[in-house]
Every structure is written in C-alpha cells, then in structure tokens.
Amino acid sequence: MEEKVGELWHKLITRAADAQHPKAAVYLHDLRKTLGIFFRALGGDSGLQLEIADATSNLSRRNLLQRIAGSNTKIQLAWRDENALKLPASIAWFEDPALNTDLYYWLACLAAVPDDAVDGPQTIHWFARNQAMVLNALEHFPGIRPRYQRLVNAHLLQRPDTGKLKGEDAEAELGIQQALKSPGSIQHIPYTRYPPQPVPLWLHPDPPLTGGSQREAEDSDSASAGDSREIEEMAKRQAERVEEPESERGLITVRMENIFTMGEFVNVDRGTEDEDDMDRAENVARELDKLSVSKNARASKNKLKFDLDLPSAESDDTVLSDGILLPEWDWKKQQLLPNRCRIVQMIADDAEPCPLPAHLTRTAKRLRDQFQAITPARTWHNRQMDGQDIDIDAYLRFIADRTAGHKVAAENLYREMRSGARDLACLLLADLSLSTDAHINDNYRVIDVIRDSLYLFAESLNATGDRFSMLGFSSRRRNPIRVHQLKNFDETYNATIRGRINAIKPGYYTRLGAGIRHASELLKNQGSSNQLLLILTDGKPNDLDQYEGRYGIEDTRQAVIEARQMGLQPFCVTIDSKGNDYLPHIFGNGAYVVVRNPEQLPRELPRLYALLTRD
C-alpha cells in the first residue's frame, strides 16, 4: 500500500511541477530532414550535421514544487559547435504545437547566422551575443520576424513575474525581457547568485564540450556477445578514459558506436548477478552528463558493449611499400599540410587460392551474363601489320599500286578480330575498419557482405573486360594507413585474387581522406579517358585523433575535390543509414548512394557500376 501511495504521490507532484506541455510536444526526428534543408537554404554551414542537444544542468532557481519533485534539474537548449547544430530532441515549451514547431525553425535560423556577422569576439558575453545574433537573423531573413514575434509574446507569459523577484534578480529578469522585446537595447545584466531562467529562444549560454574528438574506438559487435542495443535519439556526451577497478569483476561497458558518448565512472565491483537490465542501463546512459569507459574483457549476457580486440601484429600481411607520404587538409587553417600521413601498402601473400563461394555461384552467373551483354561487340580491325586474315581491300590496293608502277611497301595488309574494349578504368576502395566486425543479422557481419560484394564485383567486371583494381584500407592515426592490395590493374582475376578477397578482415579506423588520395594517384596513372573511383564504406571518416568529427569530414571532402580536379569520377556507396546527414557535403548530390539493406549490397554494387559506366 505504501508503495502504491508513494507512486501516486510521485506522479502527482511531478505532473504539478512540470511547466512544459508534453501533449503538445514536437520531435526533432519528425522535422530533421526539413530543418536541415531550411538551415542550409539560409546559408548555414553545409558541413554541420543536425544532432540532438545534450541535456545540461539547470542551475537557475527552481520553485518549491520542482525542488520537492526533484525535477527541472536538466534542460535542453540549442547550440552550434564546429561539428554540428545541436537541437533539443523534443520541444514542449508551449501549449500550441505550432509554436513548438516555430521554435525549431527559429533556432535553425538563429544558428544559420555566420559568426563573422556578429560584432565582437567569440568570448563576448552570452547575453549580448545572443541579441546580436537575433538582430542579424532578423536583418538577413526578415520573413522570420512574424514567427519570432509570436514566440516572444508566448514566452514572455512564461517568464518569472518581476514583481515577485528582489534586487538583482528582478533587474536581471527585466533586462532579459527587454532584450527579447527589443534585441540590442540592453547590453548587460547584473550578476546574480543563481543564473536567470533559461531563454529557449536563444542559443545555449555555455554549451558543453563533447568528447567526439577524443573517440578512441570504432563500432563493433562481438560474435560472443548476448543481446545488445544501440541507443537511439541520444546526444553525444563528454567522455574520458579511466582505469579498470581493481577487482575480478567490473563495470559493464557500452557499445562502440557510443564510446565518445558515455559518461560517469563509479569505481565499484558489480557482479553479474547484480547486473542492470537493458532498459535500466539505457536510462543510466541517458541521465549521466559525462561517461567514462575502461577496458573489460568479461562477457555479459545483456549489455551495451564495445570490443577493443584489434588484429595482432602476427596476422599482418606482407609489406610492399611503407614510405608513401600524403598531405592532409586542416579545415581550421584552410590549408593542405604536407607529408602528414604515411601509406603502408600490403598484400596477403599467404592467402590460399580459392573458388567462388557456392552461395554466390548462381548470382555471379546471372551478373556475368548481364555484363557480357553490355560489352562492346567484337569487330574486325583492318589495315593491320599482322592479323588473323588478309585484308582483301588493302591487298588489292597494294597490287593495283604496284601494277601502276608505284613504289609501296608491303605492310598493313592484314585484319584482326578484336573486342571493342571500353576506354575505362575503375578502382574500388573498400573500408576495412573495425566497425565492419559488427553483425547485421544472426548470420552475417558487415565484413561478410563486403567480401561477397568484392567477389561479385570482380566477377562482373571480368566478364566485360574492363580494367579494374581493388584495394582495402584501414588506419590507426595518420601513421600508418594500411592499404591492402586485392587486385592491381595489371593482374588477371583468378583464384589467387579470390583468395586475397577471402582473407580480408576488420582492421582499425577509417582515415578516408588518405585512402582516397592514395587511390586517386594510382587511378590517374592508368591514362583511361573514363576513370571511376568507387568508395565502399559503412560509416563516417574517423580515427583515434582529431580526425573524428568535422576534421575528418572536411579532409575527405577536400580529397574528393582533388580527385575531381585530376579528372576522376569519385562515387561513394555506403550502408550507413545516416549517410544522408553528411555525404552530400562530402561528395555532393548525385555522387553517393545509401544502400538501406546491407544484405543487398553484393547484388547492388555491380548494378551501380553498370549504371555509372553506361554510355
């Protein structure tokens, strides 16, 4: 009975303390696509992605009901950093859902104002800076003014009553309300013991630093693990690495996708008999401001986990060349830094030659038949120095000239049947990073569908006679970037090549810019009039260092620009369901495709090639 009463009391007091309107809530995932278009249409940085803002501590004074209920301790406000535009997962400030929708669009508009459009340094006080951004937004986009005015009028009714405040608190609140009504009219508010009540129409006064740049691992699902879950609609969190507790049993770790989004460490010994279930673990991950992770090899039945098992040095392929230096683009300095990355070329010499896997035989035969149909027909080439047959026309012309007394050489009197090979070269660059060890279902990992894709791709191109090469790559910081030679342009596709494909395995990380630059250099030397660079990947560019986030995206974008300047045609194929968030910025519209069902990749890749190379 006590528990029932307590539960009812908790619900009652929490509902009474909640100043928001859950029934009128509008959710970011419903507006993400249109907000992204809106933000970029207003001139917002095309390299920024739309992400969920982390809930940060609310340090302003809470009323009595909120203190009793223990609510309103966290709040979601919008902000913009070098990697993303952060917006609340949901907005329920107003009773009218239309106003909550308007607030999303207003915040996107406010964030679209470039930094250099706001007078003063970045360190200017948040109060003055937000007003300057509002003024610039209204000046650059006057059509947004009616929406802003509706939001101000509705929010002013929610602000604290200045008549019930005292001293500096009242003065600060009056200043905020005046600034909302007339942006730029007041530049300073007095210091108060507690920060003023949050202003949802402005950007975050002191946004947290996320741990994205400190990411130290990639996604991976261990085959030996039990149930696991990816936490959806969760913002990136601050993170730190810590040592494992001194015990035989340790704290459960988390999924590798969110290594940089994990938080607070408690040095306790928690046995498997006392493990939290999946829902509780997810709730804890959502609540913590900062998450810390440590290595723990102990398996758990249910967990949010990561796997740091990396390929051992003994399993490395034979090194072909380890001295290729490449530049890297520093987007903050807007310059290409020379000799920043080192390429190590490798080959699996000990890979056993093998036949095409039985489960691909039928599909491969169908693809070969289809690709042979697009192969240019075999034709006779006349007036050859040597050949299969005499060119009658050339021979009669030669006899007639000799009979007429002309001195002509007895050459170019033959003809030869040749295939009408296309003037085309293609290089396929496959991402072999650690994340490819993740499972897509009970039977297949990402690396398995990549392997099958390479098999069918090679079978198809071998049927056309098109010249092609295949490389796999992964990185561990900028030195080294390991490039695995699967087939070069001069090799014939055979059982040895299939053996190398069969030997591919998950590697390290994805320094994609370096991979593209190296592949571009190899491809441009082929001299073909049509040169296709296919990039096959399962996620964003990333690495252990600053390459995580915006740095890696901008370097990859610059590498694609350089490839196009060489006359190459870069095209990306990804199985990352979130690829549409960042690939348009890297490759541009029409130069990438997202394969929604990874199991379809082996069949779709050859078909994409056929579409890209048709006359």
pLDDT of 464-475, one tens digit each? 888 999 999 999
421: pLDDT strictly greater than 70: no
First to last CA, the chain: 78
Distances (CA, A) of 139 to 135, 142, 152, 190: 6, 6, 17, 28
Task: Say if CB 382 and CB 394 are below 8 A apart.
Answer: yes
Segment among 120-134, 143-157, 207-221, 364-378 with least mean pLDDT: 207-221
User: Residue 293 forms beta bridges with which residues?
Assistant: 241
pLDDT at 256: 44
Exposed e or buried b per residue across 461-479, where buried means at least 16 C-beta atoms within 10 angstroms of its C-beta? bbbbbbbbbbbbbbbbbbe
Do both 392 and 259 map to the same domain? no
Confidence of residue 564 (pLDDT cuts 50, 70, 90): very high
Count of CB atoms situated within 10 Å of the CB of 436: 29
What φ, ψ does residue 207 adopt, rounded to 5°? -65, 145
Let me know: does 137 contact 144? Beta carbons within 8 Å: yes
Q: Mean pLDDT lowest for which of 4-18, 30-44, 482-496?
A: 4-18
Residues 463 and 410 in one domain: no
Confidence of residue 415 (pLDDT cuts 50, 70, 90): confident
The pLDDT value recorded for residue 294 is: 53
Instruction: Output the CA–CA distances (angstroms, integers) from residue 503 to 383, 496, 500, 506, 536, in the order listed.
Output: 47, 11, 5, 10, 17
- Looking at the fold, whether 394 and 462 belong to one and the same domain comes out as no
Over range 413-427, report the average pLDDT: 76
Q: 243 pLDDT exceeds 70? A: no
Is residue 479 a part of any domain in this protein?
A: yes
Instruction: Examine residue 348 and state whether it is found in any structural domain, yes or no.
Output: no
The reported pLDDT for the residue numbered 134 is 93
Query: At 50, is the secondary structure helix, strand, or coil?
Result: strand
Last residue of one domain, picked from the residues 246, 278, 293: 293
569 and 463, same structural domain?
A: yes
If we measure between CA atoms, which residue out of 29, 36, 179, 184 comes closest to residue 105? 36
Q: Region 369-380: what's the mean pLDDT?
A: 69
Say if CB 251 and CB 245 are below 8 A apart. Answer: yes
Three-state DSSP at 405 gives: coil
Q: Which of 173-182, 286-295, 423-432, 501-510 has the weakest average pLDDT?
A: 286-295
**Amino acid in position 507:** G
Domain membership of residue 303 (yes or no) is no
Asked if residue 344 belongs to a domain, the reply is no
Check whether 309 has a pLDDT greater than 60.
no
Q: Which residues of 365-384 are buried (b: 16+ CB within 10 A; e: fewer)?
A: eebbeebeeeeeeeeeeeeb
- pLDDT at position 48 is 85
> What does residue 362 show for φ and ψ, rounded to 5 degrees?
-65, -45
Domain range for 402: 379-418
Highest mean pLDDT among 88-92, 288-292, 527-531: 88-92
Same-domain check for residues 589 and 449 = yes
Residue 341 neighbours by CB under 8 Å, 6+ apart:
325, 326, 327, 328, 478, 479, 481, 511, 514, 517
Instruction: Check the CA dihedral 493-495-497-502 and report its sign.
Output: positive
Within-domain flag for 305: no
Q: Mean pLDDT of all residues in the chain? A: 80
Cα separation, 488 vs 471, in Å, equals 8
Query: What integer pLDDT is reported at residue 299 of this predicted model?
Result: 47
Q: Does one domain contain both 165 and 237?
A: no
pLDDT value at position 453? 95
> Is the same domain home to 393 and 438?
no
538, 584: one domain = yes
Q: Would you state the pLDDT for residue 254?
A: 43
Residue with tokens 């949901």: 90
Name 325's bridge partners. Answer: 342
Does any domain span residue 383? Answer: yes
- In this prediction, residue 21 carries a pLDDT of 84
| Residues 236 and 384 occupy one common structural domain | no
Looking at the chain, the whole-number percentage of residues with pLDDT higher than 70 is 75
DSSP H/E element including 594:
strand 592-594
Query: Is the same domain home to 403 and 279?
Result: no
- Asked if the model's pLDDT at residue 162 lies above 50, the reply is yes
Q: Which residues contact 504 (CB under 8 A, 6 or more apart)?
A: 430, 432, 447, 450, 451, 454, 472, 484, 486
At which residue do the structure tokens 């290594």 appear?
A: 259
Chain-centroid distance of CA 194 in Å reads: 39
- Establish if 298 belongs to a structural domain: no
How much is the average pLDDT of 378-384?
Answer: 67
> What does the pLDDT read at residue 62?
76
Dist. CA 410–CA 390, nearest whole Å = 12
Hunting for tokens 């894709």 — which residue is that? 453
Give per-residue pLDDT as tens, 573-611. Answer: 999 988 998 999 999 989 999 999 999 999 999 999 988
Per-residue b/e over 60-95, b at no fewer than 16 CB within 10 Å? ebbeebbeebebbeebbbbbbbebbbbbbbbbbbbe
Please state, for a pLDDT cut of 90, what percent of the chain lies above it. 42
Task: Describe the crossing of helices 97-112 and 145-156 by its angle, rounded to 10 degrees.
Answer: 120
What does the alpha-carbon distance between residue 189 and residue 183 come to, in Å, rounded to a whole number? 14
* Token pair for 176: 């905020």
Between 263 and 31, the more confident residue is: 31
Could you tell me if 363 and 400 lie in one domain?
A: no
Task: Please give the distance of CA 202 from its chain centroid, rounded to a whole number.
Answer: 28
Global pTM exceeds 0.75: no
**What is the number of structural domains in the chain?**
4
Is residue 122 predicted with pLDDT exceeding 60? no
Asked if pLDDT for residue 180 goes beyond 70, the answer is yes
Secondary structure (3-state) at 295 = coil
538-554 tens-digit pLDDT: 989 999 888 988 999 99
DSSP string, 229-269: -PPPS----EEEE-PPPSSSS------GGGGGG-B------
Q: Is the pLDDT of residue 327 over 90?
A: yes
Distance CA 577, CA 597 (A): 9
Whole-angstrom distance, CA of residue 56 vs CA of residue 86: 12
Domain-ending residue, one of 293, 317, 341: 293
Residue 260 above 80 pLDDT?
Answer: no
Residues 6+ away with beta carbon under 8 Å from 359: none
pLDDT at 509: 94
**pLDDT above 70: residue 173:** yes
Q: How far apart are CA 533 and CA 291, in angstroms?
A: 40
How does residue 55 score in pLDDT terms, banded at 50, 70 and 90? confident
Is the Cβ–Cβ distance between 440 and 413 less than 8 Å?
no
Is 443's pLDDT higher than 90?
Answer: no
Q: Which of 51, 75, 73 is nearest to 61 (CA)?
A: 73
pLDDT at 194 exceeding the cut of 90:
no
Statement: residue 337 has pLDDT above 60: yes
Peptide bond into 311 cis (omega under 30): no
pLDDT-based confidence at residue 229 (cuts at 50, 70, 90): low
Single-letter amino acid code for the residue at 202: W
Contact 483, 346 (CB under 8 A): yes
| Residue labelled with tokens 């001069």 | 490
Give the burial string for 538-573 (b: 16+ CB within 10 Å, else e): bbbbbbbbbbbbbbbbbbbbbbbebbeeeebbbbbb
Ranking 2-16, 77-91, 97-111, 580-594 by mean pLDDT, the lowest is 2-16
Res 557: pLDDT: 96
Confidence of residue 311 (pLDDT cuts 50, 70, 90): very low
Averaged pLDDT for residues 348-368: 90
Backbone CA torsion sign across 400, 403, 405, 406: positive
- Cα–Cα distances (Å) from 325 to 28, 516, 521, in that order, read 43, 13, 12
In a domain, 29, yes or no: yes
Q: Assess whether 160 and 223 both reside in one domain.
A: no
